[in-house]
Structure 1
């Protein structure tokens, strides 16, 4: 039998926990976790090293709460979705009536790669809805930018507060509506310069060869192989499902490779393309699913010229410029607290 505010739900109860102090985090997280153990529910923590340590130290010894490595769980959105879907399926197959998880995306992800984590937060409303999950996604308002908090409010149906209240989010959008928004991502700074290489209507083999030529020195052999697959799959999708011409452009920096693949079509109709595995097993959606798991950042946009996917392997720019893993002492950025409602580089 399900417990807490999720008792009336048949699927996923998805909450945001936006806190302005370590005490506020613990005031919500500790009862949430201990109540789950008391109810016999599988109960997990997938927080970062600092916040996970705070929670661990606040719990009694041998509490029964299981700890996952947050940085590994949230390495990439699709990797997190794949891991959690398997975990949830295994636990419910074992008889679990409800599962509790509190987690957080790594603080650096609140910066230049936030757009695909925002899509993750929207997509999991569907991705996890087959299982009796109650999760809290923790966001420290001292280090979370206001635009990120607005996305949090739009992607979480519920908000947990420091006063043990569980409120509906007035700004919540259905995931399909959120995912269909055309949200242009800032260009990588190296895109201000002419691309190292540009090909029009390349074959998949030509695309693979181009990445192999550009990649040595920027990436490890394993990461380069993954990126070759991602670019090849994206070019193949453009040729099969897009409108000509299909253009591949490559830029390189000492720590990354950026590729864009564009065509004059409108892009995939499925708002979950890339984030969820194809439901019916057709190969049309499999390429993007593979691509999202093979890159360190994937973003897209539509404009008058058509549809463009941008793939990044290596270290996306600006990851440490916006958020630090340790909140600044005594300093708070704008954001929610207590029961407050959320509202809406250079080339080398």
Structure 2
């Protein structure tokens, strides 16, 4: 009989506690013939490797600059890892340097953590998500409680009374933020307007100093989202371009008509023709994606870092 997946948090207060708990979690699995994956900052991977000693050779290590850039790529890394050995259970330690994230990215990380309970349901995986109590503010430590049904404490997993239903959490995070009055707005109510949007995003993004690769990914993401709006939404279809705090935002709005599914673009679709494929792809391309609806329609906001804000790949590991 298959064992249900687990999603456990670890709130640690020092390197020794981290190494003991994360290393013990992985060793338990290795002793049972399971696979092991660590997605974490370099300093954390080194702690785990030292703790495991020779057993570390059986662990796959992926630096956070690869696994979490963008954040939703962590799902792809894990899904590919599971697909490589179908049916073999995997233990995963997954952590990134949350203190480096912009507010929009942190909201999206809340979605990612809550949605993991749904995305990996039925899959042979045990997820352990560590949170550093020394450096993270209470608002981020709150994710450890709301998104995980178990807490690892001194080698044991305790029930988490603070766990919140993932669908409720995702629904609450699906709020609408309206574009500012000084946004650049394009009317894109026809399929032929998609090429106009692509050209405008490329020209304005380049003029505002976005890196070429960032512009390329954003151009593809907005094409997917706008095409989806034209096929499944209702007119008018609008694209707003603006900066918000330290993010450059490409905001697609249509007339709506149907409630937004909190899982749209969160759970990987079975086929590229599926309704949620465009949003799923967009999440693999940009720093953060917000989706919500109100009386003004459906709003999808694609965020990339504004010029001057470093990504994880440009920073030294914590």
What TM-score comes out, normalization by structure 2 length? 0.85
Give 1:4's aligned residue: none
For residues 274 and 124 of structure 2, the distance between their equivalents in structure 1, rounded to whole angstroms, comes to 30
Counterpart selection for 2:73 from 69, 73, 79: 79
1:61 aligns with 2:51: no
TM-align CA RMSD: 2.9
1:199 deviates by 1.2
Q: Deviations over 1:42-71 (max 9, x none)?
A: 122222112222222233235433322232
1:213 aligns with 2:203: yes
1:158 deviates by 0.9
For residues 229 and 268 of structure 1, the distance between their equivalents in structure 2, rounded to whole angstroms, comes to 25
Report the 3-state secondary structure (helix = DSSP H, G, I; strand = E; otherwise coil) of the residue aligned with 2:206: coil
1:11–1:128 contact (8 Å) kept in structure 2: no
Greater alpha carbon shift after TM alignment, 12-21 vs 307-316: 307-316
Q: Extract unaligned runs of 5+ from structure 1.
A: 1-7, 327-348
1:77 deviates by 3.5
1:71–1:106 contact (8 Å) kept in structure 2: no
Distance 1:131 1:201, change over 3 A: same
1:18 deviates by 0.9
Q: Deviations over 1:199-229 (max 9, x none)?
A: 1235212211211221225233332222111
1:50 aligns with 2:40: no
For residues 302 and 205 of structure 1, the distance between their equivalents in structure 2, rounded to whole angstroms, comes to 25
Give 1:92's aligned residue: 86
1:13 deviates by 0.8
Give 1:337's aligned residue: none
For residues 299 and 174 of structure 2, the distance between their equivalents in structure 1, rounded to whole angstroms, comes to 12
Q: Deviations over 1:111-147 (max 9, x none)?
A: 4111111111111112222322112001101222222
1:147 aligns with 2:134: no
1:214–1:252 contact (8 Å) kept in structure 2: no
Kindly indicate which of the two structures has a greater share of residues assigned to strand.
2
Greater alpha carbon shift after TM alignment, 308-317 vs 292-301: 308-317
Which structure is richer in relative contact order (CA contacts within 8 A, separation 6 or more)?
1
Q: Deviations over 1:263-314 (max 9, x none)?
A: 3326663322112222465342111112112212212343443332211234
Q: Deviations over 1:47-99 (max 9, x none)?
A: 21122222222332354333222321122243221221121122235xx2x21
Distance 1:92 1:23, change over 3 A: same
Give 2:256's aligned residue: 265
For residues 23 and 312 of structure 1, the distance between their equivalents in structure 2, rounded to whole angstroms, comes to 37
Number of residues of Structure 1 aligned to a counterpart in Structure 2: 307
1:107–1:325 contact (8 Å) kept in structure 2: no
For residues 100 and 150 of structure 2, the distance between their equivalents in structure 1, rounded to whole angstroms, comes to 22
Report the 3-state secondary structure (helix = DSSP H, G, I; strand = E; otherwise coil) of the residue aligned with 2:203: helix
Q: Deviations over 1:127-176 (max 9, x none)?
A: 22232211200110122222222233121111111x22211111222322
Report the 3-state secondary structure (helix = DSSP H, G, I; strand = E; otherwise coil) of the residue aligned with 1:311: strand
1:43–1:101 contact (8 Å) kept in structure 2: yes
Distance 1:49 1:180, change over 3 A: same
